[in-house]
């Protein structure tokens, strides 16, 4: 069993790479972004609340995100493990995740951090916004604010897992295929002995 956190700022390619890793390693994909979008598209109270934060480039409150993830973990199967995409985003969430996994006798195998230059992130998000129409992807000022929030609140999560010797930096620059190949080489080299395909 392999339980991964795919980590990186908005625009680093977490969602794209997570989906490919899910297919290759047959593991569950738990994306907080997807969870919020599901709530949003179904016009739930939670979705509207999430939207009010996301449109301002702010993070959704911890207790909402953690409750949503717990519900998803309990309803979804993860026979070979899972990959978390977009969570945890701060130390409180990381600690809550540890407690949640401990209840289920599970542990994080590794945090893989996609490293991408800031200007590249901004360009990627603006280009994504042209296609997705997401309010938080079409305004450069909001994008810069999101990246600043990430630096202040989310970057410490890397250090939290680094202290546990679970954090690894991965070059997030290059083509989708190049980044995927690097992730797979790392996973195959270090972690796949821990579970059976």
Active-site residue numbers?
14, 89, 128, 134, 146
Helices vs. strands in the chain: H and E counts, helices first: 9, 5
Residue with tokens 């989906």: 19
Tell me how far apart the alpha carbons of residues 148 and 9 are, in angstroms, rounded to a whole number. Answer: 10
Tell me how far apart the alpha carbons of residues 161 and 7 are, in angstroms, rounded to a whole number. Answer: 11
Contact between 114 and 132 under an 8 Å Cβ cutoff? The reply is: no
Classify residue 103 as exposed, middle or buried by CB count within 10 Å of its CB (0-12, 13-18, 19+).
exposed
| Residues paired with residue 171 on neighbouring β-strands, in sequence order | 115
Tell me how far apart the alpha carbons of residues 40 and 140 are, in angstroms, rounded to a whole number. Answer: 23
Contact between 94 and 161 under an 8 Å Cβ cutoff? The reply is: yes
């Amino acid at each position: 069993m392999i339980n991964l956190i795919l980590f990186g700022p908005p625009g680093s390619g977490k969602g794209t790479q997570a989906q490919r890793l899910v297919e290759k390693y047959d593991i569950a994909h738990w994306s907080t972004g997807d969870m919020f979008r599901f709530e949003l598209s179904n016009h739930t109270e939670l979705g509207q609340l999430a939207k009010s934060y996301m449109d301002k480039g702010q993070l959704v409150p911890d207790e909402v995100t953690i409750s949503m993830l717990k519900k998803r973990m309990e309803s979804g199967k993860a026979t070979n493990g899972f990959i978390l995409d977009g969570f945890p985003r701060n130390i409180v969430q990381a600690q809550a995740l540890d407690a949640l996994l401990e209840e289920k006798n599970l542990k994080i195998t590794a945090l893989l951090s996609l490293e991408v230059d800031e200007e590249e992130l901004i360009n990627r998000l603006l280009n994504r916004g042209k296609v997705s129409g997401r309010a938080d992807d079409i305004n450069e000022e909001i994008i810069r604010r999101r990246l600043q929030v990430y630096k202040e609140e989310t970057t410490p999560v890397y250090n939290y897992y680094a202290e546990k010797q679970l954090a690894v930096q991965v070059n997030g620059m290059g083509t989708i295929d190049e980044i995927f190949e690097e992730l797979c080489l790392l996973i195959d080299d270090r972690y796949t002995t821990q579970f059976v395909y």
